[in-house]
Amino acid sequence: MLEICGKIVGPGEKLKCELGPEGYPMPATLICGSRPGKTLVVTAQIHSGEYAGTPAVIRLARETDPGKLCGNLILFHLVNVTGFFEGINAYIPEDHGNLNGCYPGGEESVSGRIAAFFVREILPHADALLDLHGGGMNETLAPCLFFPGKDRAVREASLAMAAFTDIPDCIVSHSVLGEVGYAGNVMGIPSLLLERGYGGLNRKEWADAYFWDLRRILIGLGMTEGEEDPVCAKRIYDHAVYLEAEENGLWYPEVETGRHLMPGDLLGRTEDLWGSPLREYRATAAGTVQYYRSAMNAVKGHNLVTYVLDSCNGDGLEY
């Protein structure tokens, strides 16, 4: 039996419902397998302009047969509901809060209450967590994922799940402020933050790829049966550079995803609103561009380019 927030789902049953803190219902599906096993939590659209995860979660909810499932699925189809319907790129519009940066939350804001709800009501049930993202409306991104790195056992269990995805680049995270960072690095739950898609686009191939990632992970966790389709080799990175804008201005990137960098290579430049140069941004180490800001507006303190370093994990590339 699965019991969440007063909702009770018996073995072999599936329930469509809404869950969340008071005043903030989120669409969810609870599935209790006919046999015991792990409990997997999946969330989509913590950032409301990152769409690919939502149709994948809906499809997983629709196509999963509880009679053939071992364990439980707790599926949140869409977390940032108000941001989605208001066309917001990432944040919770009620308070401009970032759900990937406000854990463990609190009662002082809507975003804080959502984070606290997950910490209090959802994550204690989880044996594993998947959080589906995608490059936002202002980004161009190559598929990648982030895994918690503070505890060796959690790291290895998370990478074991990553091995079933068709995502090549796996980047360690020591953050404790987002859902996956808090779950993995504080609560000890094997977790992955997956990134696929970009530019505020809704492409079927990205959603389909996420669906098959989820299916393979369920097979890998022993929660369902099926064939393990071949996936890409993995590259593990223990360090990344997150380049932030040092001023407001016009941003002109000089990079593409997948481009290999050498120290001193030009990443982009900013100008003021009259076209006068403000600053050049250059690589400080050898690495590969993972994602970058493709919008024109540079905002002080916001990410411009993220690149992973060649020196990571020895020669750094195969898992």
**Biggest CA-to-CA distance, the chain:** 66
pLDDT value of residue 284: 96
Domains of the chain: 2-232 (3.40.630.10), 239-309 (2.40.50.100)
d(CA 88, CA 48): 6
Q: Which two tokens stand for residue 253?
A: 């990137």
Segments in the chain below pLDDT 70: 311-319
Task: Kindly tell me the sign of the dihedral angle through the C-alpha atoms of 284, 286, 291, 292.
Answer: positive
pLDDT value of residue 280: 98
Give 95-138 pLDDT, tens digit per residue. Answer: 999 999 999 999 999 999 999 999 999 999 999 999 999 988 89
d(CA 161, CA 213): 10
pLDDT value of residue 312: 57
d(CA 36, CA 33): 7
pLDDT value of residue 135: 87
Q: Is 179 in contact with 129 (CB distance < 8 Å)?
A: yes
- 3-state SS record for 230-292: CCCCCEEECCEEEEECCCCEEEEECCCCCCEECCCCEEEEEECCCCCEEEEEECCCCEEEEEE
pLDDT value of residue 314: 38
Q: Are strands 191-195 and 70-76 parallel, antiparallel or unpaired?
A: unpaired
CA-wise closest residue to 294 among 141, 171, 91, 84: 141
